[in-house]
Amino acid sequence: MPGKEAFQIYLKGDSQYEPDFVVETKAAKLICEIKATKDLETPDVQSKAKAAVKWCEHATTHEKQVGGKPWAYLLIPHDAVSEAKTIRGMAAAYRQM
Query: How much of the chain exceeds pLDDT 70, in percent?
Result: 94
Mention every residue, 6+ apart, whose C-beta is less than 8 A from residue 94.
74, 75, 76, 77, 80
CB atoms within 10 A of CB 14: 6
Find out whether 72 and 30 touch, Cβ atoms under 8 Å: yes
Reported pTM: 0.88
Mean local confidence (pLDDT), 40-60: 94
Q: Which pLDDT score is estimated for 3?
A: 58
Q: Which pLDDT score is estimated for 80?
A: 94
